[in-house]
Structure 1
Amino acid sequence: MQPQQLYCYTCDSDEHHRPLTENEKVWLRDETGRRKVDEFFMCTAPKCRNVRSGFNKRPFDPVRRVPLPD
């Protein structure tokens, strides 16, 4: 799946979002207890890394941000 322009709740603007990598999907599964996380995207704006789904701009309360890679 290609990066796409989606609304970012934390940036309060349309930003580029990319699908999660395999390591990020493992992290999100562990964080949320969900079995399927293929529908989530990460905002690529500097210092944001907010997670949203393709249909829901704010799926988590509080907001989940993908940690920086090691």
Structure 2
Amino acid sequence: MPSGIKYCYTCDADEPHRPLTGPENAWLKNRTGQKNVDGYFMCEAPKCRNIRTGFDKHPFDPVIRVPLPD
């Protein structure tokens, strides 16, 4: 499987993922209260934006999706 391709729980398919940007990291820290969110990735499939870690494909219940940038 190519680098950056991970299983997306909400898409139910292997999709490209990327690490969160600085503003997205800050948003997720505020949303979850976690101090370190460096290990999270966002699904890049159109209209998905689901978050997962490198090892856990479903870390949040209900799922958390990164909001679209303003």
| 5+ residue gaps, structure 1 | none
Counting only pairs closer than 5 Å after superposition, residues 15-30 of structure 1 correspond to structure 2 as: 15-30=15-30
Output the TM-score relative to the length of structure 1. 0.95
Deviation at 1:28, TM superposition (A): 0.2
What amino acid maps onto 1:39 in structure 2?
A: G
What amino acid maps onto 1:42 in structure 2?
A: M
What amino acid maps onto 1:53 in structure 2?
A: T
Runs of 4+ in 1 over 4 A off after TM superposition: none
| 5+ residue gaps, structure 2 | none
Instruction: Spell out, residue by residue over 1:7-59, the C-alpha distance to the aligned partner (whole angstroms, 9 max, x if none).
Output: 00000000000000000000000000000000000000000000000000000
Output the TM-score relative to the length of structure 2. 0.95
Question: What CA distance in whole angstroms lies between the structure 1 residues aligned with 2:58 and 2:51?
Answer: 8
Which residue in 1 is equivalent to 2:11?
11
- Find the residue that maps to 2:49 and give its secondary structure: coil
- Find the residue that maps to 2:59 and give its secondary structure: coil
- Pairwise CA RMSD: 0.8
